[in-house]
Amino acid sequence: MARRRLHVDGIVQGVGFRPFVYNLARSGNLTGFVTNTSAGVFLEIEGDDPALDRFEQRLQDELPPLARIVAVESMVIDPVGDDEFTIRISRDTPGTSTLIPPDVATCADCLREMRDPDNRRHGYAFTNCTNCGPRWTIIDRIPYDRPYTSMAEFTMCAACQAEYDDPDDRRFHAQPNACAECGPQLWLADGEGHKIESGDAIGAAVERLVAGRIVAIKGLGGFHLAVRADDDDAVRRLRERKHREAKPLAVMVRDNPAFDDFLRTPQAPIGLLRRDELPAALNEAIAPAVAPEHRRLGVMLPYTPLHHLLLDEAILRGIPALVMTSGNASDEPICLDNAEALERLAGIADNWLLHDRGILRRADDSVAQLLDDEPLFFRRSRGWAPVPILLGKSEGAPVLAVGPELKNTICLLKENRAFLSPHVGDLENLKTYEFFTETTEQLQTLLECEPDVIAHDLHPGYLSTSWAREAEKQGKQLIGVQHHHAHLAAVLAEHDESGPAVGLILDGTGYGLDGTIWGGEILVGDASGVERAGHLQTLRLPGAETAIRQPWRLAVAVLCDVYGPDRGNWPDLPWLDRRDVGPVLQILERDLNCPVSSSCGRLFDAIAALTGRWGEVHYEAQAAIEWMSLTSFTEVARAEPWPMATRATKAGPFALAFDEVVRGVGEGIAAGERWGSLSARFHATLIHRLTEAVVRTANERGMDTVALGGGSLQNELLLRGLIDALQAAGLRTLRPVQTPAGDGAIALGQAVVARARLD
């Protein structure tokens, strides 16, 4: 007889890991025990050596779908001769290393039970098991045990308790286990928040939806605002009340064989699906106001029992799809509890579908599309956060990185794990800033780690930077990280590459080392440092921030740069007569409030605005996305690029000139050429000219790897084209797969750079 003690580290709590271990041990005729602690799962197994070896092998090979092992420590100890294998209750131990599990979409077994009229969970909106259900959003602290969750106030009935205690049951130690007898309840409230229906709350809610009303629905990581997707007036009403004029809305629909498997993963993200590949019946059921001007539609499947029941009922009553958008006003964070939602969503929602299970942490829906069968994230949040990104290197001091201003996330780097927070949002209003400070504190508390080092963006005006400055007064060490350096470092880190590499960072806005706004950058280096080898020619932003909301000003700026200030020399663009061009030319001439920027995003805006179509935009990148939507992969591949001259700059790095692009697009529009073909040539130009510049840079420096990052690479035509062209030129390409290409990855990059600087 031999005995071993195993310490298993990873995502091993709340994922059915202990019953799995229990069954594995029993099937191998081993004795011993398994227990959950805040430091991970510990187990002791006793049997003959070959059986113990087999157990350790199967532990790795047959892991439950949601579990993830980071490390197993195995130690030989003296046999004690127990009679059987048991599961011991959790005990608290200091030194947290257990990973907090993410929320998991409803599993097939639970769904079957909910739909079975003979099952005791028929129609119950909070059904879950060890394979599915809420986790991150209900956990107050670890270890993950019911008393430390928002389920603590519900006492299990005898039937639920029996399931919970039975190692052979799917609900063995399922912390949120509940049924209609003992668990959370639903009710529908009127516009003032008064309860009007609790018996058939779902039926009553769907009745309102059928009538075109807006219903606020308390979900998993916050509230959604729902409206029937086939009613254009209702969708417009939602847009008006939410002040969301143009940004596309996502829909929740029943599963369809035409969808990618990606939608069916336990993370259940919003997948951006091509409209031309959707079933015709679904396309027809989507009102034009849902996603105007877009070739893709954000689609998600129901991921909680409540969503399933709601959609089942909606379909029964003839509504095939529901618009489900985050329950917030404009750019504020998603609402959390009933009182908060009733206050902040008053005037938006006509009715409220509420329940009494507390949401302890916000989690917005994640958004991604597939590119070459791998995700391209727009937002990494519910389902992924807070699962860490594993870095190869495990040494180094812990670092807290506070992220950028827009699409903020926070990163806590501890050992070899980078814990990237759920999406926080744009730090432009008080509510989001409060969410930012709340998230920063929660991450440190949950992970029992308060780093002495804080990494932040170089931009002095960012709220996250100000927060870091305050922390400095409390004795923290600050490390400022240049925005595009962070983009490069994040891509290298998630691929476990140390570099050096060429970084092609195509982005919106980032504070540069020279105090100007960067954003179309060719960098060389690694986490410890970079050099700016080249960039896109700078353009001027007449009126600074105003020019971001009014791209026609950027169009005027590039026309002025290329043709001079005399409008008589410009291409004949009719929209110029409808705009107040004179004052803009004046501030350009006097160089007043006209910051320069090498931003790729702004170049997209300027070029798209030459059409006159995107004179004003309602959200960042609207012009770029809709300009991209006019063309396609095949058209871009066939399009003839314009030249981009390489110019030396005084500061050192080369600049790629856009004169020919402005001439090509401007004169093309004046001549009545199809916008789609101009968009294709513009994309082809960036792809070919940037590739040439990167290849030249890589050859000069003896490098063979290119790291691609930045928000402009959420443009699939640009990203796809660049990857193809760079690989055809013999370079290895790395692109963001686990993190967004945009600023959702900045905190990760900041953390990695800060640690490299400390070494």
Q: List interacting residues with Fe ion (CB under 5 A).
A: 507, 743
∠ CA 34-36-41, rounded to 5°: 70
* 307/484 with CB nearer Fe ion: 484
b/e per residue 248-259 (b: at least 16 CB within 10 A): bbbbbbeeeeeb
Cα–Cα nearest to 557, from 543, 573, 545, 574: 543
Q: What's the order of all strands across the beta sheet hosting 411-414?
A: 389-390, 417-420, 411-414, 399-401, 453-457, 477-481
From the CB of 711, what's the least distance to Fe ion, in Å?
5
* 103/743 with CB nearer Fe ion: 743
Is residue 114 within the footprint of Zn ion (CB under 5 A)?
no
| Strand-strand pairing, 374-379 and 411-414 | unpaired
From the CB of 107, what's the least distance to Zn ion, in Å?
3
* 481/693 with CB nearer Fe ion: 481
From the CB of 179, what's the least distance to Zn ion, in Å?
3
Residue 712 in tokens: 């402009």
Whether 707 and 597 have beta carbons less than 8 Å apart is answered as no
From the CB of 171, what's the least distance to Zn ion, in Å?
8
Give the integer Cα–Cα distance in Å for 632 and 679.
9
* 130/705 with CB nearer Zn ion: 130
CB neighbourhood size of 395 (10 A): 8
* 127/409 with CB nearer Zn ion: 127
Whether 624 and 631 have beta carbons less than 8 Å apart is answered as no
107 binds, among Fe ion, Zn ion, none (CB under 5 to 8 A by kind): Zn ion
DSSP SS3 for 235:
helix
* 15/319 with CB nearer Zn ion: 15
From the CB of 404, what's the least distance to Fe ion, in Å?
6
DSSP codes joined into one string, 91-120: E--SS--PPPPPPBPPPHHHHHHHH-TTST
* 534/601 with CB nearer Fe ion: 601
The DSSP bridge partners found for residue 286 are none
249 binds, among Zn ion, Fe ion, none (CB under 5 to 8 A by kind): none
Among positions 82-111, residues that touch Zn ion (CB under 5 A) are: 107, 110
234 binds, among Fe ion, Zn ion, none (CB under 5 to 8 A by kind): none
* 110/489 with CB nearer Zn ion: 110
Q: By beta-carbon distance, which residue lies closest to Fe ion?
A: 507
CB-neighbour burial class of residue 36 (10 A; exposed 0-12, middle 13-18, buried 19+): buried
From the CB of 298, what's the least distance to Zn ion, in Å?
25
267 binds, among Zn ion, Fe ion, none (CB under 5 to 8 A by kind): none
* Distances from the Cα of 585 to the Cα of 114, 540, 590, 614, 738, angstroms: 65, 11, 9, 19, 44
132 binds, among Fe ion, Zn ion, none (CB under 5 to 8 A by kind): Zn ion
Residue 272 in tokens: 């951006």
Residue 437 in tokens: 């400070």
From the CB of 276, what's the least distance to Zn ion, in Å?
35
From the CB of 484, what's the least distance to Fe ion, in Å?
7
The distance of Cα 250 from the centroid of its chain, to the nearest Å, equals 14
* 133/525 with CB nearer Fe ion: 525
719 binds, among Fe ion, Zn ion, none (CB under 5 to 8 A by kind): none
Build a one-symbol-per-residue string for 167-186: x at contacts with Zn ion by CB under 5 A, - elsewhere. Answer: ------------x-xx----
From the CB of 254, what's the least distance to Zn ion, in Å?
18
| Strand-strand pairing, 351-355 and 186-189 | antiparallel
* 178/581 with CB nearer Zn ion: 178
507 binds, among Fe ion, Zn ion, none (CB under 5 to 8 A by kind): Fe ion
561 binds, among Zn ion, Fe ion, none (CB under 5 to 8 A by kind): none
Using left for φ > 0, alpha for ψ between -120 and 50, and beta otherwise, residue 149 falls in beta
743 binds, among Zn ion, Fe ion, none (CB under 5 to 8 A by kind): Fe ion
The distance of Cα 220 from the centroid of its chain, to the nearest Å, equals 16
Measured between its terminal Cα atoms, the distance across the chain in Å is: 47
* 20/682 with CB nearer Zn ion: 20
How many chain residues interact with Zn ion (CB under 5 A)?
10
Build a one-symbol-per-residue string for 123-162: x at contacts with Zn ion by CB under 5 A, - elsewhere. Answer: ------x-xx------------------------x--x--
* Distances from the Cα of 194 to the Cα of 201, 238, 343, angstroms: 13, 21, 13
How crowded is the C-beta side of 271, counted as CA atoms within 13 Å? Answer: 25
157 binds, among Fe ion, Zn ion, none (CB under 5 to 8 A by kind): Zn ion
From the CB of 363, what's the least distance to Fe ion, in Å?
23
Tokens 């095939």, located at residue: 320
Residue 341 in tokens: 């939602």
From the CB of 156, what's the least distance to Zn ion, in Å?
6
Give the interface with Zn ion as residue ranges (CB under 5 A). 107, 110, 129, 131-132, 157, 160, 179, 181-182
